[in-house]
A and B are shown apart, each in its own frame.
Chain A
Amino acid sequence: MKVQVLFFARLKEIFGESSRWMSLREGASIHELVGLLRHESEELGLDQVPLVYAVNEDFTEGERILRDQDTLALMTPMAGG
């Protein structure tokens, strides 16, 4: 299956792009996807960044199982206002 991953702010700078499509095994969770991103580049320093997730614009937990064509937003804690 394929999911679209969105990056914002600091994460957009870390990954050098604002979105990408990723292929995952059926039944993969957000944690699994984040694991792939961590694996992709050790120097990303993602371990030091607390992540907040939204799937199709709703906040969710890392255990959430992704579905084909989901849009996953990978975010750092909100800092508006």
Chain B
Amino acid sequence: MRITQEPIRLDDFFSKGADPSCGATASFVGLVRNHDHGRRVLKLHYECYRSMAEKMLEQIVAKAKERWPVDEVLVRHRIGTLEIGEAAVAIAVNSSHRAEAFQACRFVIEEIKKSVPIWKKELFEDGTGEWVFCPEHAEVSL
């Protein structure tokens, strides 16, 4: 399962060694930041359409492996209520050389944002909250 309620422990996530044929690991970690559009954010609450989100993540990993000669693509996405500084998403791509590791890693995070049914709500200091709206993701590729 790539979606988890549990905190993503980065030491654990990155503890799996790469295959000896790999000369590169590219990684991306998305963190909860304390501001958005000039407003102070206290926490982020993530929700997902779990079965479809797992399916889409699997497809994205498969596509990345199809497109680039990468060995392993690890992805984990957290849901639930996250504190500032916590990891919301972690990606690691192992490959023989760095170019494809960087490219595939970038591809995976961009695809997650576009086509995995996950949503986040910003929780503010005054107790209010707002679902993050990404108009650029209104059109998904079918």
Contacts and interface: CB of A to CB of B under 8 A. Distances in A.
A6 interface: yes
A77 B47 contact: no
A10 interface: yes
Contacts of B115: 59, 78
Contacts of B140: 52, 59, 77-78
Interface in B96-142: 109, 112-121, 131-138, 140-142
A8 B82 CA distance: 18
Nearest to B91: A81
Contacts of B109: 81
Contacts of B120: 79-80
Interface string B58-83: 00000000000000000001000000
Judged by DSSP, the binding face of B is mixed
A17 interface: no
Contacts of A57: 49, 51-52, 55
Interface of B: 30, 46-49, 51-53, 55, 77, 88-89, 109, 112-121, 131-138, 140-142
Given A54-B117, A81-B77, 5 more contacts: A9-B47, A75-B49, A75-B119, A78-B113, A78-B119
| 7 nearest CB pairs, A to B | A80-B118, A9-B119, A77-B137, A50-B138, A10-B131, A57-B52, A81-B113
Interface of A: 6, 8-10, 12, 50, 52, 54, 57-61, 73, 75-81
